[in-house]
Amino acid sequence: MYPDLQGKVAVVTGAGRRKGLGEAIARKLATDGVKLVIHDLGEAKGELAPAHGVGASEEMVEVAEGLRAINPDVSTFQADMREEAQVEALIAHAVKTYGKLDILVNNAGVGYLFGPLVDATQDMWDTVLNVNLRGAFFAMKHAIRQMQTQEIEQDWGRGRIVSIGSRGSKSGSALTSSYIASKHGLVGLTRSAAIEYGGEQITVNAVCPNHVTTGLGSWQNDYMAKKRGQTVEEYLAAMRGRIPLGRVGEVEDTANACAFLCSGQARYITGEAMNVSGGEEMH
């Protein structure tokens, strides 16, 4: 528990799916007394935004209801992260609803447009980069503008931004070229923003988990196992064999890291890309 998070206000993007990474992050923050705006796209939009990769509006409502059992201050907002005006409206909604914005968690991302680089289309590339990187930039831009208007709180600062990277922020992998490029870029964006706004006591960090078997993670397991000619269990067994701690990541691992970086205990940490990978990634 982090008592200094009590009463803080956070936007968590891409948090509208049950048992997803965003929901787990929101749940951890809610447990620490944070007022929340949970975001998602709200509807599937064809092959580039299929149902298995999007939090539908009905599912967002269910996620919010579950979180309100922990903390009643939970709001929802639908927005397309590729559109700056919609992202700006998301941040404005948080301020209008709760009077301020202390924390931004950039979790929204596309992790399903996989395949050989030579088969990727411009639309596939643009969708991944525009959600994973451009959307995070838009959210950062408008969150920081709001944070700059707020007073510096002793022993905590003025604001916290945590972006969800990946083991793919540090290392490459086959069949995921656009995803890897976007996640590497997210770490660069994090480091640059940390340098620009550290003097204003706004910290900017990233959390880089390895594979987590959420609903989307299950789809990834199926896809990658088929590409390797393996069963899903064979694929996961090989993955566990590469991880010193011997298991695949869980949503709570990433959620706990996010909460720490949002707390006062992390007030002297900025520009970092924290690995949460059981030792699979060590740089």
Residues assigned a catalytic role? 179, 183
The token duo for 190 is 């994090």
Residues with Cβ within 8 Å of 107's Cβ and at least 6 positions away in sequence, in order, are 12, 13, 14, 15, 21, 22, 25, 164
The token duo for 79 is 């927005």
3-state class (DSSP) for residue 155: coil
Residue type at 147 in one-letter notation: M
- In eight-state DSSP terms, residue 130 is I
Helix (H) or strand (E) holding 91: helix 84-98
Residues with Cβ within 8 Å of 225's Cβ and at least 6 positions away in sequence, in order, are 231, 232, 234, 235
Burial 78-113 (b: 16+ CB within 10 A, else e): bbbbbebebbbebbebbbeebebbbbbbbbbbbbbb
> Of the candidates 122, 131, 119, 120, which has an alpha carbon nearest to the alpha carbon of residue 49?
131
Measured CA to CA, the distance from residue 63 to residue 66 in angstroms comes to 5
